[in-house]
A and B are shown apart, each in its own frame.
Chain A
Amino acid sequence: MFGGDPLLSGQVDLAVVLIVLLKVVLVFAFLLVATMLMIWFERKVVGDLQNRIGPNTAGPFGLFQTFADGVKFFFKEDLLPDRAERRVFILAPLLTVVPAFLLFCIVPFGGDFSNGANGTVEIFGHETFLQLANPPIGILFALAMSSIAVYGVMLAGWSSGSKYPLLGSVRASAQMVSYEAALGLSVCAVVLTTGTLDTHQIVAAQAGDGWGSFIPNWNLLVAGIVPFIVFLLASQAELNRPPFDLVEAEQELVGGYHTEYSSIRFALFFVAEFMNSVTMAAIIVTLFLGGPAGPAPIGPGWLWGVFWFFLKVIAFLFLFVWIRGTVPRVRYDQLMDLGWKVLIPLSLGWLLVLATFHVARDQHWNGLVVVPIAAAIALTFFGLLRFAMATAKANRLEGVVE
């Protein structure tokens, strides 16, 4: 179950259990603190982007604003609507929060990958990975957890016994299920390139130098830029972040699925949302930017791994906030169009092209022949898709428009 981690391959003694516990506490604390700082960071940066100031009262630079908000949530009255389905209503926030915590387990957040090292660190005489768990199913676990989170959102809206939460959760489940497909297909491209589901090995595969000696061997480049872009867009939709925050759409739905929630239960949704942002950034970094892999010029390599990892994650978190501060919310039909008619065909097509190249490389086919044929087939299918869409639209508008 914990395959690959040298810590658990040998005899399991007390030290091993303690190390695992230490890692659990570390990851748990890191996630909580990171979420707290992420909320602050988001509010501060989006304030900057919009010529506002952002939180600046609680603590230096308003750093403790999230903490203050959290304390306030604890002391608020916890309302349970009369028409709510009690047990489901109480369960739903947990269904959202627990997967958000579990998601981070599989992310390697440190370790020395430079100069061919295998990314292990030594704690108390035991070799181990700087990652909580390294199951062989690896990245599938992330997809599974983010699917479970949909249940939290869906059940929250349904069990509230109120119509706006229900609308919000219907939107949410439709949106998250649609974008899960594009997300999964672009993960497939990465899995195809690296040949493994194991997140540690995905990072290890990206550790070396690529073309030349300075261009990194990241999947961002190796798998082509397309899966990365598809994953980035789909992850924003999966996170229900602007511009895809139709689930919450304050102007239309009073806050969506969590309208009826208050107090700490609402805080759980809120925390889960921002925790997922952090985790999603970490997963993007793992899949496409080599995670903690990077040069280690001086000092211990594992520390450099942690440094590179956080640098990349923060860059992506900034990108998330930047997208939020720039792009207005899309319409619901635009959201579905983007998901089904652009991202899914694109990632599917790219996956097939990648597979073709891999087969061609393995069979030693002539690249000069393979590339034009692949391009021709891809263009043909693109044309067919456009034709199908145009025909469908014409049929739909028949009788509506003169």
Chain B
Amino acid sequence: MGYLGGFLVSLRQIGRKQRVTTQYPKEKAPKPVRVHGRHVLNRYEDGMEKCIGCELCAGVCPARCIYVRGADNPVDDPVSPGERYGFVYEINYLRCIHCDLCVEACPTEAITESKMFEFSFTSRSDAIYTKAELVVDDEGMPRKLPWEDWRPGEDLHTSAWMRATAPAGDARFEGVVGWSGELGYGLRAPEAAQDVKDAITTPDEFVDEHGHDADPHGPVGHDGLSHDETDPHTQGHGGH
């Protein structure tokens, strides 16, 4: 057909029902498991808050959108296990870039991200989420604010990528649980292992037959030790 072949190609598309459009406000496309949404502040299974007010999240935040003020736990009615807790915790969503560095920095997995990015507040004060909005409710579910568009089931995914990677990035610990239980969920299962090796970034000689990192002098810190024994979170949580 030469020059005019293209016209047939486009004409044939008419009436062909192969559109992939999702009618967004009516239905939502499924979100990838590691989407970064708005944060939640998690609690332990007994209802204690995980946040210890260490301010590491605020320190690492490149957008400087997190404000934390820690305080000593009241002796008779502690908010979190241990000495300190997050007395004030605020995230300004006009500034947050959802980079998840706060999630990586958090030593107690207190702050994780849900997959909720569909929120449109209409005032600046609504944009600043405080503990009242961020801390999960008594079922361990994120609080649903009026300007947020939650659909059934969406609140179940609050921390997937945390459980997706092996501790310290070492593939030998893949599938080994290295995190504490959560209110409403208990000890969450690790994400399914990645069975296809990343052929682009990992040279062949460093990969064993299972597609795992086979480097004997690999990342330091975990060699020869059982992960469960060394992880501070699984043990520390019962100590309050």
Contacts and interface: CB of A to CB of B under 8 A. Distances in A.
Interface in B1-57: 6-7, 9-11, 13-16, 18-21
A51 B18 contact: yes
Give the interface size bracket for A toward B.
10 to 19
Contacts of B15: 48
B213 to A, nearest CB: 42
Contact of B9 (A45, A53, A323, A326): A326
Given A326-B6, A327-B6, A50 B13 contact: yes
Contacts of A323: 7
A48 B15 CA distance: 7
Given A326-B6, A326-B7, A53 B21 contact: yes
B14 A49 contact: yes
B11 A51 contact: no
A255 interface: no
Contacts of A55: none
Query: Which has the most chain B C-beta neighbours within 10 Å: A45, A48, A52?
Result: A48
Contacts of B10: 49-50, 322, 325-326
Interface in A23-75: 45, 48-53
B16 A322 contact: no
Contact of B11 (A49, A52, A53): A49
Contacts of B11: 49, 322
Contact-residue bracket for chain B = 10 to 19
A323 B7 CA distance: 7
A229 to B, nearest CB: 12
A52 B6 contact: no
B203 to A, nearest CB: 38
Contacts of A50: 10, 13
B6 A49 contact: no
B19 A51 contact: yes
A52 B9 CA distance: 15
A2 B18 CA distance: 53
Contacts of A327: 6
A52 B19 contact: yes
Contacts of B16: 51
Given A51-B18, A52-B19, A322 B13 contact: no
Interface in B89-147: none
Contacts of B19: 51-53
B21 A52 contact: yes
Nearest to A46: B10
A52 B13 CA distance: 10
A323 B18 CA distance: 21
In the A-B complex, list the 7 residue pairs whose CB atoms are closest, starting with the nearest.
Answer: A326-B10, A49-B10, A48-B14, A53-B21, A326-B6, A325-B10, A326-B7
12 contacts: A48-B15, A49-B10, A49-B11, A49-B14, A51-B18, A52-B19, A52-B21, A322-B7, A322-B10, A326-B6, A326-B7, A326-B10
Interface of B: 6-7, 9-11, 13-16, 18-21
Given A49-B13, A53-B21, A325-B10, 5 more contacts: A48-B14, A48-B15, A49-B10, A50-B13, A322-B10
